[in-house]
Amino acid sequence: MKTFVINKKRYIKNKHKDNLTAFLFLLPCLIGFVAFIVFPVVASLLLGFTEWNFLGGLKGIKFIGLDNFKTLLSGKDLWFNESFKNTLIFAAITVPVGLALGLIVATVMNKYVYCSGLFKVIVFIPYISSVVASVIVWQVMLQPSYGPINSILTSLGISNPPKWFVDPKWAMPTIIIFQIWQTLGYNVIVFMAGLKGISSELYEAASIDGASELRKFKDITIPLISPTTFFLSTMGIIGSFKVFDSISVATKGGPGNATSVVAFYIYREAFELYRMGTANAAAWIMFIIIFVVTMIQLRGQNKWVTYD
According to CB under 8 A, which residues from 51 to 70 bind another protein?
Answer: none
Between 71 and 294, CB nearer to another protein: 294
Q: Does residue 180 contact residue 100 with C-beta atoms inside 8 Å?
A: no
CA gap 245, 243 in Å, rounded: 6
Binder among 100, 132, 205, 296 for another protein (CB under 8 A): 132
By the rule CB under 8 A, 193 interacts with another protein? yes
Between 1 and 223, CB nearer to another protein: 223
By the rule CB under 8 A, 90 interacts with another protein? no
Q: Does residue 305 contact residue 226 with C-beta atoms inside 8 Å?
A: yes
By the rule CB under 8 A, 124 interacts with another protein? yes
CA gap 206, 220 in Å, rounded: 9
Single-letter code of the amino acid located at 237: I
By the rule CB under 8 A, 199 interacts with another protein? no
Which residue intervals of the chain are DSSP H helices? 2-33, 39-48, 67-74, 78-111, 116-128, 131-141, 148-155, 171-196, 200-208, 213-216, 222-224, 226-241, 245-250, 262-271, 276-304
Per CB under 8 A, the segment of 73-81, 91-99, 159-167, 223-231 that binds another protein is: 223-231
H or E stretch at 63: strand 62-63
Compute the Cα dihedral for 80, 83, 89, 90 and give only its sign: negative
Find the shortest distance in angstroms from Cβ 106 to another protein.
11
Binder among 80, 164, 165, 284 for another protein (CB under 8 A): 284
Find the shortest distance in angstroms from Cβ 300 to another protein.
16
Between 1 and 155, CB nearer to another protein: 155
By the rule CB under 8 A, 217 interacts with another protein? no
Q: Does residue 236 contact residue 101 with C-beta atoms inside 8 Å?
A: no
By the rule CB under 8 A, 164 interacts with another protein? no
User: Using CB under 8 A as the criterion, what x/- string covers residues 2-41 for binding another protein?
Assistant: -------------x--xx-xxx-xx-xxx-xx-xxx-xxx
Find the shortest distance in angstroms from Cβ 183 to another protein.
12
